[in-house]
Amino acid sequence: MNRHPLLLAFAVFYVLLAILTWSQDVTRAPDGRTVLTFWHTYGDDETAALKEIIADWEKLPANARWTIRPIRLPFDGHKPKIRTALTVGLGPDMARVDWSFVCELARKNACVDLSTLGFDKIKDQYVPGPLQTNFIDGKYQGFPEQTNCVALFYNKSMFRDAGLDPDKPPATWDEFIEMGKKLTDAKKGIYAFGMDNTVWWTLPFFNTFGAHMISEDGKKCLLDSPQAIAALELKASLFATHQIEAGAWRAGGTPPEQGFQNQKYAMIFTGPWNLPRFANSKLDFGVGLIPAGPAGTSSNVGGNNAVIFRAGKHHQACFDFLAYFTSAEVQAKWCQRLNQIPVNLGAYDLIKVDDPHLKVFLEQMKSTVGNPVVTSFEMLENVVNPEMEAVLTGQKSAADAMRDAVRKVETKVLTL
Amino acid sequence: MKKETLSSLLFLLPFLVLFGIFLLFPIAYSFFLSFFGSPRDFSLSNLEFVGFSNYINILGIHRTPTGWKLNDPQFWWSLAVTVLYGGISIPLGIAAALGLALLLNNKLRGKEFFRSAFFLPNVLDMLVVGVIWYLIYAPKYGALAQISTVFLGPDNFFNTTGLLGSPLTALPAVVIAMVLKGAGFGMILFLAALQNIPECIYEAADIDGASKWEQFWRITLPLLKPILVFMVITGVIGSLNAFTEIYAMTAGGPQVVIGDETLGSTSVSGYYLYKQFEGGRYGYAAAISYVLLTVTLIITFVQQKFFAGAK
C-alpha cells in the first residue's frame, strides 16, 4: 500500500464520504416532513401540473406532516420496474400504473384494499368504466386516475367525396356497413375502415353487442356467448364479406392511424391522444360515437389507475392525497389544462370543453364498460388474438374460434 | 492450497463473482423455478410447488373424446417451426456465403468495396435489420409492393397480402432476410479459407483435365469442410436461439389453423418461450427453457458424432 498513497487516499476519502452522507432515514425531508414516494409515468406537461397539485395539497393545514416525492418512470418500463422493486422490498408508497396492471398487483397482494381507508364513501363520484378496472375480487384496489376510450374518427372530405353527409357519422353498425361500401374504392387503395385486431381494440365490438369476456367472479371465460360470437362475426365480415376494411391488422398492413392520416382509410377507432396529431396535419376530420349494436354504443377503457402499496407505512396519507388528486375540482383543473377526460363525474360540470371532438369522448366515456379483469392481460391477448385472426382470415368460424379461446383462457389465463 | 493456485483464484475472482451472480445463479434459479407455478406474490419465497407438472404439461399427452392429444401442441409446433427455420436458413445461408466468396475471390474490380458492402449488414443489430425488412415486405407501401405494382399491377400478392401476411410465405421471407444479413460473415470465413488453398492444386487438376465444376466439387469443397462444419454448428445455434427477427417482423404470426389448433406460422420456440414469460407463466417458461436446453444438448451431441471426421 505504501507504493500507492494516492490510491489509499482515494479509498479513505470514499469511505469517509459514504459514512458522512449515510442517512438511516430517507423517508424524512430536511424540513421534517415525512416523504411519500409516488412513482408515475407522466409526460413533461403532466409532470409540471402534478408538481403544482402536490404543492397545493402540501399547503393544506391537514397535510403539514407530509411531502410527496414524485418519481418519473418511462411508461414502457413501469411494470417490470415496479415488479422488481416489490420483489426486493423497495417499492414506492403509491404509483400510477396502467389499468391492466392493477389486477396483477391486487392478486399478488401488493396493494391496499381501499375500502379500509374510506373509498366506499367516494367511489360513486368516479366514471363507472375506469372505476370498474379497479374492482378486483370484490374490492376496490386502486383509484381511477386518468382515463380514455376509443371513438370513431372519420374523414369529412372523404365523406363528401362519397356523397355522404360529413356531419353524420354512422350511428349503427348497419349504417357503418352501408356508408362503408360507398367510401371504399379498393382499386385506388381507399377503404372505409382500418382496424386493429387485439382484444383491447376489439372490446368496442364486444361491448356494443353486450358481450362479456370474463365472468364477474373471474372464474369463467364467456367468449363463447351468442353476443360475443355475433360481435366477432360482424368484425370479420367488415374485412371478409363486405370488404370495407383494409386488412390493417395484418403483418405489414398500413396501421389504422397512418392510413387515416394518409387519407387511405375513411374511418378508424382511436383515442383522444391522436386529436393533436390529426389536427396538426390539417386533416378535415370529425369524431363520432362508436356505432351502436344491440346493446347501444359503447367503448373500451384505457388509461391509468393509482394504487397504494401494502409495503408502505402511511396508507391513509396516500389515500388522502389520491382522493384529493382525483377530486372533482382538481380533475377539472387537470383536464382543462391538459385537454384530458376527467375520471370524476363531478368534474364534467366544472370544465368548459370547447373542442367538439373532446366533447364526443366525454359522451362516449359515459357508455364505456369495464374491461375484463385478469391477472395477466398480456396472456389474454396472447391467447385470444390468434383465434380472432383465424376468424378474420376465414380459417375458423367465430363459434369454433371462441370455443377454443374459452378453453385456452380458462387453462392459461384464469389459472394465473 | 498452493500459493500459485490461490493467486490464480484471486485474479479470477472478479470474473467468477460476476459469472456466478449474472449467469450461474439465474441458470440454477430458472431450473428451480421450473418446478413451481405462477408466483402468488412478488416475493421469491411464496411459490406454489407443482413438481413435474410444468414438464408434463409441455411434453405430455391427454385423452379427449376424439382421441389422444398433446398437452401443449403450440410448444411442439414451435419446435417444428424452429427445425423448419433451421432447415431452410442453414443451407441457404451457407450457399449464399459460399457463392459470394467464390465471386469475390476472382479478379474483380472494386472487390474490396463489395466485400465491405456484403459484410456491413452483419454489423447491424438484428432488430434494426428486422424492421428494415418488415418495411420492405409491407403491402401497399413497402418497397417490394411498390416495385411489383409497376410490373404486375396493383392486384399482385406482394401489394395485397405481402410476404409476411401469408402463413405460406412468412417464414421463408424471414429466412431470406436473415440469410442476406448473415451471408457477409460466412463470406469472410470462406474467403479466408479459399485464399489458403494453394494454386498449385488447381494447376495440377488442370493438367489432369479436370473441369472447373470437378475442381469445385473435388478440391474446393473438401478443403472448405472445416468452415462448412463451423457454419452448420453456428447455424443450428442461431436457429435454436431465433427470437429477435420474429419479434421484429411477424410477432409469431400469421396464424394457421391445423386441426382445431390455431398456431403461429413463424412462432419459433424462442418466441413461444418469450410469450409465456411475458404472460406471467414464469415456471412454465422456465420449464420450456430446460426442455429446449435438452434438445440443444442432444443436437450438439449428434453433431459432434456426425462431424467427428471433419478434422
Cα distances (angstroms) measured from residue B198 to each of A381, B100, B201, B244: 60, 20, 6, 41
Interface test with A, best of B257, B272, B284 (most A CBs within 10 A): B257
Looking at residue A291, what is its pLDDT? 95
pLDDT band at A415 (very low <50, low <70, confident <90, very high): confident
Judged by CB atoms closer than 8 Å, whether chains meet at B262 and A401 is answered as: yes
Looking at residue B89, what is its pLDDT? 93
Q: Decide if pLDDT at A391 tops 90.
A: yes
When pLDDT is averaged across residues A208-223 and rounded to a whole number, the result is 88
Q: Decide if pLDDT at A269 tops 70.
A: yes
pLDDT band at A2 (very low <50, low <70, confident <90, very high): low
CA B71 to chain centre: 26
- Mean residue pLDDT across chain A: 89
Three-state DSSP class for residue A312? coil
pLDDT band at A251 (very low <50, low <70, confident <90, very high): confident
Looking at residue B288, what is its pLDDT? 94
Residue A263's φ and ψ, nearest 5 degrees, are: 60, 35
pLDDT band at B244 (very low <50, low <70, confident <90, very high): very high
Three-state DSSP class for residue A222? coil
Please, are residues A93 and A312 in contact by the beta-carbon 8 Å criterion?
Answer: yes
- Whether a cis peptide bond, with omega within 30° of 0, leads into A5 is no
Query: Which of B39, B170, B262 lies nearest to residue A390, judging by beta carbons?
Result: B262
Q: Decide if pLDDT at B310 tops 60.
A: no
Q: Decide if pLDDT at A102 tops 70.
A: yes
Looking at residue A387, what is its pLDDT? 93
Looking at residue B17, what is its pLDDT? 93
Looking at residue A288, what is its pLDDT? 94
Give pLDDT tens digits for A304-325. Answer: 999 999 988 899 999 999 999 9
Looking at residue A24, what is its pLDDT? 56
| Distance of alpha carbon B15 from alpha carbon A92, whole angstroms | 34
Q: What amino acid occupies position B73?
A: P
Please, are residues B268 and B80 in contact by the beta-carbon 8 Å criterion?
Answer: no
Query: Which of A252, A376, A393 lies nearest to residue B279, judging by beta carbons?
Result: A376
For residue B69, which residues of chain A lie inside 8 Å, CB to CB? none
The three cell numbers of residue B191 are 474467403
Q: Averaging pLDDT over each range in A152-161, A180-189, B269-278, which range is the top one?
A: A152-161
Looking at residue A317, what is its pLDDT? 93
Strand partners, A191: A265
| Distance of alpha carbon A141 from alpha carbon A322, whole angstroms | 13
| Chain B: residue whose CA lies nearest to A379 | B279
Please, are residues A170 and A286 in contact by the beta-carbon 8 Å criterion?
Answer: no
Of A274, A275, A267, the closest CA to residue A355 belongs to A275
| Distance of alpha carbon A230 from alpha carbon B249, whole angstroms | 32
Taking the CA of residue A265 and the nearest CA in chain B, the distance in Å comes to 13
Looking at residue A205, what is its pLDDT? 94
Q: Decide if pLDDT at B175 tops 90.
A: yes
Please, are residues B139 and B159 in contact by the beta-carbon 8 Å criterion?
Answer: yes
Burial category of A140 from C-beta neighbours within 10 Å (exposed 0-12, middle 13-18, buried 19 and up): buried
Q: Averaging pLDDT over each range in A128-132, A318-322, B44-48, B257-261, which range is the top one?
A: A318-322
Three-state DSSP class for residue A253? coil
Contacts with A184 (C-beta within 8 Å, 6 or more apart), sequence order: A190, A191, A192, A243, A244
Please, are residues A258 and A206 in contact by the beta-carbon 8 Å criterion?
Answer: no
Give pLDDT tens digits for B15-60. Answer: 999 999 999 999 999 999 999 887 778 877 778 888 999 999 999 8
Q: Give the DSSP letter string of B229-292.
A: HHHHHHHHHHHHT--HHHHHHTTT-SEEEETTEEEETT--HHHHHHHHHHTT-HHHHHHHHHHH
Tell me the angle at which helices B269-278 and B282-306 cross, rounded to the nearest 10 degrees. Answer: 160
When pLDDT is averaged across residues B153-174 and rounded to a whole number, the result is 89
Phi-psi region of A302 (alpha: psi -120 to 50; beta: other; left: phi over 0): beta
Q: Decide if pLDDT at A366 tops 70.
A: yes
When pLDDT is averaged across residues B236-253 and rounded to a whole number, the result is 89
Taking 3-state DSSP, the helix, strand and coil percentages for chain B, each rounded to the nearest 5, stand at 70, 5, 25
Query: Which of A109, A110, A253 lies nearest to residue B139, judging by beta carbons?
Result: A253
Of A171, A304, A327, A386, the closest CA to residue B256 belongs to A386
Q: What is the pairing mode between strands A139-140 and A135-136? A: antiparallel
Tell me the angle at which helices A199-208 and A377-392 cross, rounded to the nearest 10 degrees. Answer: 70
pLDDT band at A217 (very low <50, low <70, confident <90, very high): confident
Give pLDDT tens digits for B86-144. Answer: 999 999 999 999 999 888 887 778 878 888 888 888 888 999 999 999 999 988 888 99
Please, are residues A92 and A85 in contact by the beta-carbon 8 Å criterion?
Answer: yes
Looking at residue B225, what is its pLDDT? 86
Higher pLDDT, B274 or B38: B274
When pLDDT is averaged across residues A44-59 and rounded to a whole number, the result is 91
Give pLDDT tens digits for A9-32. Answer: 888 888 888 877 766 556 777 778
Of A128, A136, A63, A78, the closest CA to residue A104 belongs to A136
Interface test with B, best of A81, A232, A260, A382 (most B CBs within 10 A): A382
Q: Give the DSSP letter string of A85-133.
A: HHHTT---SEEEEEGGGHHHHHHTT-B--GGGGTHHHHGGGB-HHHHHT
Q: Decide if pLDDT at B309 tops 70.
A: no
| Distance of alpha carbon B120 from alpha carbon B181, whole angstroms | 8
Dihedral over Cα of A60, A62, A67, A68: its sign: negative
Q: CB distance from B253 to chain A under 8 Å?
A: yes
| Distance of alpha carbon A136 from alpha carbon A373, whole angstroms | 7
Q: CB distance from A390 to chain B under 8 Å?
A: yes
Three-state DSSP class for residue A68? strand
CB–CB contacts below 8 A, A to B: 101
pLDDT band at A179 (very low <50, low <70, confident <90, very high): very high
Q: CB distance from A401 to chain B under 8 Å?
A: yes
